Structure 1
Amino acid sequence: MTEAGQPSLRIVVADDQASIREGLVIMLDLLPDIEVVGSAANGLQALDQVAALAPDVILLDLHMPELDGIEVTRRLTAEHPEVAIVVLTTYADDASIMDTLRAGARAYLTKDADRRDIARTLHSAAGGYSVLDPRVQATLLAATTAVPAAPTAPAEVAPDGLTPREAEILTLVSRGLTNTEIAEALFLSHNTVKTHLNRIFTKTGSRDRVAAIQYAQRHQLG
């Protein structure tokens, strides 16, 4: 529990390098609003830890033995969609990033991120937001934990694992806004909007913008 009486964010740390894993556990446990409830040295252990401990977030390395981070992400997204997945890795190539996000990761950080960035991202991911490391995309994938004054996303839980930001963007797409207009309305970069749309298309099974609009209309998003 935090000093204010709020429950701490419960985290599982998964990394095959013992020094990094143990360092992350110590570093995060020093924060008053985060509790590390478990750690894993490979992908199978990560799945077991999540199943047994039901954390809010897993901080996951990308390349691990037994199962790599991308496959772990796919399985966790399918079996434990309530657990936010934050990838922390040395790999920042486009293929790794896109494969991981398509698999269902909510955030992607590189290992030069500092404690404050990691903690902020864990909380953002637990709140349903997506964050992409500035080194990877040069911008955030989603808003921080601050709630917009006039949100356009519906208040209900979005279907098919859409995050609040993704539902918000899909709502604007269904209203006919272009990527540029969405970026200006939400104070995001054009690339960030495109990245969100790619994830929206994947999650909703939409081949293009028209199909996404039809999906939004079926689910009353807009």
Structure 2
Amino acid sequence: MQTDETEKIRILMADDHPIVMQGFSASLEKHHISIAAQVKTAESVLPEYEKCNPQVVILDIRFGGKLTGLDVARELLSQYPDARIIFLSQFDQNSLVKECYKIGAKAFITKDCDAVDLANAIKAAAKGASYFLPEIAERLATIAIKGDKAPQTLLDAREIDIFTLMAEGLTNAEMADRLSLSPRTISHISQTIKEKLDIYRSADITKLAVRYGLVEP
């Protein structure tokens, strides 16, 4: 989708916090960027995208429901491969940032950023280019050099489920009941998880899960 330098860039903003959208909307107008539409739920993004055909979509990651911004981005890009997405989030764990770019986002911007940074990311995305804040680029480079030690990288899907429940403080019996597995299976997988992550204390497991956004603080 091409953009003319003489025309305002039209964007769709999706965030369940009106104050966030209002704050950025006022600032972005000064940067030749027009808010074509605003939605507050993940489920509203695709219908509104088809309706207003924006050049760039600004997506929050967490909406408080089953669908996340990541889910929306995957669905949007599967139907519209040329869609240009920027994630705007208060959560910036390395694994999350990496996943956003892996999905196909053009940029990841934190909500405490300067409006100029968001405007620059939008302008880059409108031209089909990726945009990296310096600190984000540095962190991604560190991951590439030192390796990604996030649970989401080291564990498979079933292990992630159990690791999350461990972090929430459930017992083996409770996890077995929740996941319809035997306590023995839970015990075996739990031990494997601890060995893979090289972490054994319950408190440290919870801290790690919070750090990587798997459970709420």
CA gap of 1:63–1:26, structure 2 versus 1, over 3 A, is same
Q: What secondary structure, in the 3-state scheme, does the structure 2 residue paired with 1:132 have?
A: coil
| More divergent stretch after superposition (128-137 vs 70-79) | 128-137
Distance in 2 (CA, whole Å) between partners of 1:38 and 1:59 is: 11
Larger radius of gyration: 2
| More divergent stretch after superposition (22-31 vs 91-100) | 22-31
Report the aligned-residue RMSD: 2.4
Counterpart in the other structure of 2:121: 121
Unaligned segments of structure 2, at least 5 residues: 146-217
Counterpart in the other structure of 2:26: 26
More helix by share: 2
TM-score by length of 1: 0.57
Q: Is the 8 A contact 1:110 1:133 kept in 2?
A: no
Q: Is the 8 A contact 1:11 1:56 kept in 2?
A: yes
Q: What secondary structure, in the 3-state scheme, does the structure 1 residue paired with 2:112 have?
A: coil
Counterpart in the other structure of 2:103: 103
Q: Is the 8 A contact 1:56 1:82 kept in 2?
A: no
- Residues 40-72 of structure 1, C-alpha deviation per residue, up to 9 Å, x if partnerless? 101111222111111000111111134211011
Counterpart in the other structure of 1:47: 46
Give the AA of the match of 1:127.
Answer: K
Counterpart in the other structure of 1:137: 137
Q: Provide runs of 4+ in structure 1 moved above 2 Å.
A: 132-139
Aligned residues: percent identity? 26
Q: Is the 8 A contact 2:14 2:41 kept in 1?
A: yes
Higher relative contact order (CA 8 A, sep 6+): 2
Unaligned segments of structure 1, at least 5 residues: 142-190, 196-222
Q: Is residue 37 of structure 2 the alignment partner of residue 38 of structure 1? A: yes
Q: Is the 8 A contact 2:117 2:133 kept in 1?
A: no
Give the AA of the match of 1:45.
Answer: S
Q: What is the Cα deviation at residue 5 of structure 1?
A: 7.5
- State how many pairs are aligned: 141
TM-score by length of 2: 0.59
